Amino acid sequence: MILDDIVEKRKEQLNREKENFSLEEIKELAFSSTRTSISFKDALKADGLSVIAEVKKASPSKGVIAEDFKPVETAKAYENAGASAISCLTEEHYFKGGSKYFADIRSKVNLPMIRKDFIFDEYQIYEAKVLGADAILLIAAILEEEELKNFYNLGKKLGMDCLVEVHNEEELKKVIPCGCEIIGINNRNLKTFEVDLETTKKLASLIPYEAVLVSESGMKTHEDFVSVRSQGADAVLVGETFMRADNIEHTMKELKENL
């Protein structure tokens, strides 16, 4: 399963990161950070359909998406185009992302930023805070219920929001007891990598409380945006469509028209 492979590679990356700072050092840096987070949750709850625009060079399913990768320029284009938040990949092997990209973008844009990564160790949460993240991604498929709860609470304690991602009913059942405020529904099957926008519709109706709902993956057209909006999505996370766009502002306008 590709997700397992990503996590294994991410463990290698984490071992390298731990050579720079020990757990105690990164923890101290995180708790002594004076930066005030920008509310990721509030940005997604704004009127209309909010857009989390993703900065990514590559993906496991598509390989390299942006040959001429300019993360800061892309992020500034997103901000100018009216994105509500920015997602930046920090996984190095499959997504060709990096912490430096995140830090560089953070210093140049004023939108809330989510660290998009595969978190399985508390170290990564402290690291996200140090990088200037306003939110982190927690993927239910790679975490046990107890881990999910602990990581969620740690993220909140550090002043970050948590986007908790599910892609099937089983994972949603794991997430609901946590009372997560922001739930991401990934339309991509993480085993086959096939995309089905009906996943948002199916899972949205099963959430028993009021949560900020994000539809992730596979949205390429205005009709796709309209579809997930009608299914209850407050926000969408879009990467590849923007990374391949000739004109980000024009593409954003087309996708968001009247939403």
Based on the residue annotation, tell me whether 41 is a catalytic residue of this protein.
no
**Dist CA 102 CA 67 (whole Å):** 18
Based on the residue annotation, tell me whether 216 is a catalytic residue of this protein.
yes
Q: Annotate 185-214 with DSSP letters as a single string.
A: EE-B-TTT--B-THHHHHHHTT--S--EEE
Based on the residue annotation, tell me whether 56 is a catalytic residue of this protein.
yes
Catalytic residue among 91, 127, 216, 240: 216
Based on the residue annotation, tell me whether 96 is a catalytic residue of this protein.
no
Cβ partners under 8 Å of residue 174, min gap 6: 140, 144, 145, 148, 166
Structure tokens of 64?
């390299």
Catalytic residue among 57, 116, 129, 149: 116
Structure tokens of 137?
């991604």
Catalytic residue among 54, 79, 181, 240: 54
Structure tokens of 188?
């991509």
Based on the residue annotation, tell me whether 165 is a catalytic residue of this protein.
yes
Catalytic residue among 50, 87, 186, 215: 186
Based on the residue annotation, tell me whether 61 is a catalytic residue of this protein.
no
Catalytic residue among 27, 56, 96, 201: 56
Catalytic residue among 91, 165, 171, 240: 165
Q: E-strand spans in the chain?
A: 50-55, 58-59, 63-64, 85-89, 113-116, 135-139, 161-166, 182-186, 212-216, 235-238
Catalytic residue among 84, 99, 215, 217: 217
Q: Where in the sequence numbering do the catalytic residues fall?
A: 54, 56, 116, 165, 186, 216-217
